């Protein structure tokens, strides 16, 4: 089964907590703090595997988790780092953040690896907090959570030349004639329902990868039919081989076919029309082919047209030589730009969610929310008096005290934080 898009949940490993421990050895007076650091969480890594051709494995394993780091140990020993989770995918796979569409990995080389989710940093043990004022600290840092998000994993066929055109124009027959690929060929529309790839070699020894892409229809660029699913596979192709049914065997006008397909390529907005295009007039053995070809050349005098009859392997060599010539001078068209986003993305201003937000729930009751709070606050760590002092210092350092005063919070008011309530006291 050919699967070219999967939505998965990715979660990197959490960092291990640092521990509170003290040195207790015979004849060692005032041993001091001895708690070790927690280990770093494992990363989630995607790797391009040349032996894979589909995302079928991910379809049945939609949760990708890396191992968390271990807690620190006594004697300043560092907890073990979490193991990385390596996910193997086919060449040509991209990984996008589902919420924003940002591309975090584009795997185009064999065995290329890319970290898509970084593990959390391990917390420091209590020996890091020893000072002249506090020689026996009884607190340690928590490990930080790793990256976690929903991701869209897409396979975009990695080919040099892509065959495009309406259904039943002879694309699959062309691929079958010039390579050892054996795509399904039938006398009905949409015989090809997923891309087929073959290696083509010209008579002068040059070779390239040719992809037979499913047929397009009018409106494909707006998602009509399976438009986006088909068009995305053209994005990596450096040369487009446009096949036209010049014999009008399906009752369509070849000139209209040519215009419609080019309009769909243009509207897709991935610079598809910047790629060199080879126009192939196929089915030249049919009665109306010569007449239609004359009409085509009259309307498009500057377009070079290659006449073929793919069913009998006629006229194919000039097309392959032209494709090889164009590949020698055509650069690669990247999927992402310098900022790591697709070149077709529409940039709009979105106000960033504040890290700390104070809202008044009712008279003398205030609620503090924000992503920074949620990551820093852990009620389970408030066990000793020192933990509370450290918590208060952290809240002050993060600017929560100032934000509460600015919002109007007064001495004795109630502050709600992550489901817990505290009393605000002015010093």
Residues tagged in the binding site annotation for GTP? 165-172, 190-194, 212-215, 282-285, 309-311
| Interatomic CA distance for residues 150 and 143, integer angstroms | 22
Q: What is the DSSP letter of 33?
A: B
| Interatomic CA distance for residues 354 and 372, integer angstroms | 9
**Cα 407 versus chain centre, distance:** 40
| Interatomic CA distance for residues 163 and 177, integer angstroms | 13
Going by the annotation, the residues of the binding site are 165-172, 190-194, 212-215, 282-285, 309-311
Place of tokens 């004697």: 75
Going by the annotation, the residues of the binding site for Mg(2+) are 172, 192
Residue 362, helix vs strand vs coil = strand
Q: What DSSP string runs through 183-199?
A: ----SSTT---S-EEEE
| Interatomic CA distance for residues 269 and 255, integer angstroms | 22
DSSP H helices in 45-89: 56-59
DSSP H helices in 330-382: 371-376
Q: Show the CA angle centred on residue 339, arms to residues 110 and 239, nearest 5°.
A: 50
CA-based Rg of the chain, rounded to a whole angstrom?
Answer: 31
């Amino acid at each position: 089964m050919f699967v070219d898009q999967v939505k998965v949940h990715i979660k990197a490993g959490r960092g291990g907590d640092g521990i509170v421990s003290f040195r207790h050895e015979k004849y060692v007076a005032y041993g001091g703090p001895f708690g070790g650091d927690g280990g770093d969480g494992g990363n989630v890594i995607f790797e391009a595997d040349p032996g894979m051709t589909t995302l079928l494995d991910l379809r049945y394993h939609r949760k990708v988790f890396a191992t968390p780091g271990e807690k620190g140990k006594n004697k300043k020993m560092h907890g073990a780092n979490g193991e990385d989770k390596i996910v193997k995918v086919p060449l040509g796979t991209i990984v996008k953040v589902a919420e924003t569409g940002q591309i975090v990995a584009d795997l185009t080389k064999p065995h290329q690896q890319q970290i898509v989710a970084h593990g959390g940093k391990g917390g420091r043990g209590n020996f890091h907090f020893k000072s002249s004022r506090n020689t026996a600290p009884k607190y340690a840092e928590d490990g930080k959570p790793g990256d976690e998000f929903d991701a869209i994993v897409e396979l975009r066929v990695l080919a040099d030349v892509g065959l495009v055109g309406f259904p039943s124009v002879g694309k699959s027959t062309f691929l079958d004639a010039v390579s050892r690929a054996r795509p399904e060929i039938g006398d009905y529309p949409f015989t090809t329902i997923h891309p087929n790839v073959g290696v083509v070699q010209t008579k002068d020894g040059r070779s390239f990868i040719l992809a037979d892409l499913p047929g397009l229809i009018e409106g494909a660029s707006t998602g009509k039919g399976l438009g986006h699913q088909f068009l995305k596979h053209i994005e990596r192709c450096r040369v487009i081989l446009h096949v036209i049914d010049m014999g009008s065997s399906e009752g369509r006008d070849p000139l209209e076919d040519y215009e419609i397909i080019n309009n769909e390529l243009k509207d897709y907005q991935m610079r598809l029309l910047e790629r060199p295009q080879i126009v192939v007039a196929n089915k030249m053995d049919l009665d109306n082919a010569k007449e239609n070809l004359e009409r085509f050349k009259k309307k498009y005098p500057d377009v070079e047209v290659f006449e073929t009859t793919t069913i009998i392997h006629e006229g194919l060599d000039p097309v392959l030589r032209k494709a090889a010539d164009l590949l020698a001078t055509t650069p690669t068209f990247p999927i992402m730009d310098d900022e790591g986003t697709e070149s077709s993305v529409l940039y709009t201003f979105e106000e960033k969610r504040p890290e700390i937000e104070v809202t008044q729930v009712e008279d003398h009751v205030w609620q503090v929310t924000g992503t920074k709070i949620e990551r820093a606050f852990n009620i389970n760590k408030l066990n000793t008096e020192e933990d509370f002092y450290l918590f208060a210092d952290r809240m002050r350092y993060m600017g929560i005290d100032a934000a509460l005063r600015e919002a109007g919070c007064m001495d004795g008011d109630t502050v709600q934080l992550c489901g817990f309530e505290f009393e605000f006291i002015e010093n």
